[in-house]
Amino acid sequence: MKIFITGIGGISAAGKNITEHLKSFRLMKRNAGTVSLFDTSLPYPVFEVKSPLVNKQVNKQVNKQKNEMRTLSLAMSALKEALHDAGLQKDFSAIKTGVCLGTSVASQLNDIDFYRTYRNTGAAGMAPVDRFLKGNLAEAIAKSIKANGPSVTVVNACSSGADAIGVALSWLRNGVCDIAIAGGADELNRVPLCGFGALGILSKSLCSPFDKDRSGLNLGEGAGVLILETEKSASLRGKKSALRLAGYGAAADAYHLTAPRPDGSGLESALRKSLADANITPQDVCFVNAHGTATHDNDKVEGIVIEKIFGPKIKFLSTKGYTGHTLGAAGGLEAAFTASALRECWIPASAGFVRQDENIPVKPITEQTQINGSFAVSTSLAFGGNNASIVIARNQ
């Protein structure tokens, strides 16, 4: 069964829609800066979304006018663009529609002020709790568009967005729904900033994925949403699409809570499964949009596996140099970028890369590059040893 990608939406520090992202990629713009969303003593640069589409009160984590979590605002922005691209209205009550979105921050009740007040007094107001209870990402989006199919929020840490797309693919193939809204969203938040800082994997300079001197990741925020649709559904409403979601593979490392399996066998398994799922060989893939966080371990393992599967001449890149690591949104955003690149027939330079690491047998592309193939792969690796790979195809 063919599953079409009929709509794409994305928002991050690199742009408030896909067109702006492509412009930033062409110009190699890297909109990082210091944290303005909350107070912190940590010195790490971040990629914040400055778009008024998200939140008019830029310095607040919460859209108080709507009593809405920032993550939800980001997701709504990407969804709006994707729906427009797909030619769909914001009312799905008559269509069997599923919503599967990945996140990390929106799944946690981590309001520091609420908790501090509770801790100090033994009581606290329920507004942050209400916001949390109304803010389950998939449930909130499903409610907003009156979706009547399944809704699931995937919380697989940094592979959440990619895994959410994989879940949606399974739904569509099994007739659970006819249209699926899939991807991921995450806001920049003090809690993961502190956590990643404690893990020692944040860089004090702009991140440089796959570079010899890479020193860690920069956190970002954003949302990436795909509208996925069965061939029959798209055909019935006369929607043509140049793209389809061809395959998904996932595998667990079964190794460590925070470190990838050194031999990369989990990622390799996920990649091979996704290629098999798409019924293609590695030679059919024209580029790989790698997870490429710019941490020492991730990039080393990922580079080795990419070379092992696709060979030394494969074109690959990381877009995290433009967006930062958007955690639960990353898989969704990068799927949106991968799809857009296939549609546009070019991929951007992998921002931040300068010198090849002798421990990584391949190097990412360093300039905007034309592509001609029909298949592209986007990989995601995560805390907990999750590995995910999705294959996107250009319709022949």
Partner 1 sequence: MNIAGIGIVSTRGRGIESLDIALREGWTSPKLIKSDNDQNIFYPIYSVEKETINDINLLKKIRRADRFSKMAVMAARDAVVDSGIQINDKKTDIGIILSTAFGPHVTTFRFLDDIIDYGDGSVSPTTFSHSVHNAAASYISSLLNIRGPTVTITQFASPFHQSLILAKAWLTEKRCKYVLLGCVDVCGNVMEYICNQKLRIANDGKIRPFNFSALPSSVPGEGSVFLMTSLENCQNKYCEIIPASMTNCDTIKKSDIYIIEADGMAGNETSYQDTLPVDVSIGGYAPIFGSMKIISAFHCAAGALMIKKQIKYACPVQENPYDLNVITKTESSKIERICCIRKNCADKTDIIRLIR
Closest CA to 303 of 321, 316, 284: 316
Closer residue to partner 1 in complex, CB, 340/386 = 386
As annotated, the active-site residues are 158, 291, 325
Q: What number of chain residues touch partner 1 (CB under 8 A)?
A: 68
CA distances, 251 to each of 162, 255, 274 (Å): 12, 12, 10
Q: Shortest gap between Cβ of 34 and partner 1 (angstroms)?
A: 14
List the alpha helices (DSSP H) in 185-264. Answer: 190-198, 231-236
Of 323, 334, 386, 394, the residue at the interface with partner 1 (CB under 8 A) is 386
Residues of this chain, 268-327, that bind partner 1 according to CB under 8 A: 269
316-317 and 3-12 beta bridge pairing: unpaired
Q: With beta carbons less than 8 A apart as the criterion, state whether 256 and 197 touch.
A: no
Spatial neighbors of 288 by CB under 8 A, at least 6 apart, are 306, 310, 314, 315, 316, 317, 376, 377, 378, 379
Helix (H, G, I), strand (E, B) or coil at 209: coil
| Helices and strands of the chain, counted as H and E runs | 12, 16
Q: Supply the Cα-derived Rg of the chain in whole angstroms.
A: 19
What number of other Cβ atoms are within 10 A of residue 200's Cβ? 8
Q: Any contact of residue 67 with partner 1 (CB under 8 A)?
A: no
Which among 5-13, 104-112, 179-187, 359-367 is the span making contact with partner 1, rule CB under 8 A?
Answer: 104-112
Q: Any contact of residue 361 with partner 1 (CB under 8 A)?
A: no
Q: Any contact of residue 119 with partner 1 (CB under 8 A)?
A: yes
Q: Shortest gap between Cβ of 159 and partner 1 (angstroms)?
A: 9
Residues of this chain, 120-149, that bind partner 1 according to CB under 8 A: 121-124, 126, 129, 133, 136, 138-139, 143
Q: Shortest gap between Cβ of 27 and partner 1 (angstroms)?
A: 33
Of 258, 279, 366, 368, the residue at the interface with partner 1 (CB under 8 A) is 258
DSSP 105: G
Instruction: Mark residues 223-252: x for contact with partner 1 by CB under 8 A, - for none.
Output: --------------------------xxxx
Which among 191-199, 305-313, 343-351, 355-363 is the span making contact with partner 1, rule CB under 8 A?
Answer: 191-199
Q: With beta carbons less than 8 A apart as the criterion, state whether 346 and 205 touch.
A: no
User: Which helix (H) or strand (E) element contains residue 62?
Assistant: strand 62-63
Closest CA to 223 of 389, 51, 108: 51
Which among 9-17, 26-34, 203-211, 381-389 is the span making contact with partner 1, rule CB under 8 A?
Answer: 381-389
Which among 52-60, 287-295, 360-368, 380-388 is the span making contact with partner 1, rule CB under 8 A?
Answer: 380-388
Binding site for partner 1 (CB under 8 A): 40-42, 104, 107-110, 112, 115-116, 118-119, 121-124, 126, 129, 133, 136, 138-139, 143, 150-157, 163, 166-167, 170-171, 173-174, 176, 190-200, 249-258, 266, 269, 382-386
